[in-house]
């Protein structure tokens, strides 16, 4: 949805509700896109190293790439 600056001022509450529900709202100035109206998202939680320890298994042959795959990447079909 694209609205002009004047309309955005007078309908900010309704536009904010649409954005919160997932709609994209672009506010235009002189007919050109000027700003995007976005919902507020809480900051990212701090990373906790090791939280997947013991939950991920890597196959024994993980680092062994089959010849046909290597040839395909190198363009040698």
Structural domain of 29: 2-37
In the numeric block, the tokens 């309908």 are attached to: 11
Q: Do 35 and 26 form a contact (C-beta atoms < 8 A)?
A: yes
Read off the pLDDT of residues 4-42 as tens digits, 9 standing for 90 and up: 999 999 999 999 999 999 999 999 999 999 999 999 888
Q: Do 52 and 71 form a contact (C-beta atoms < 8 A)?
A: no
Report DSSP letters for 18-63, one per residue.
HHHTT--EEEEETTEEEEEE----PPPPPP-TTTTTTT----TTTT
Residue 33 lies in a domain: yes
Helix (H) or strand (E) holding 2: strand 2-4
Residue 55 lies in a domain: no
Read off the pLDDT of residues 44-67 as tens digits, 9 standing for 90 and up: 888 889 988 999 999 998 999 999
Domain count across the chain? 1
């Amino acid at each position: 949805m694209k609205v002009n600056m004047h309309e955005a001022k007078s309908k900010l509450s309704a536009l904010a509700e649409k954005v919160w529900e997932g709609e994209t709202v672009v506010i235009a100035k002189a007919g050109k896109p000027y700003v995007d109206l976005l919902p507020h998202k809480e900051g990212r939680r701090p990373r906790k190293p090791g939280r997947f320890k013991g939950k991920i298994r890597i196959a024994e042959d993980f680092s062994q790439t089959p010849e046909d795959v290597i040839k395909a990447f190198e363009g040698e079909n």
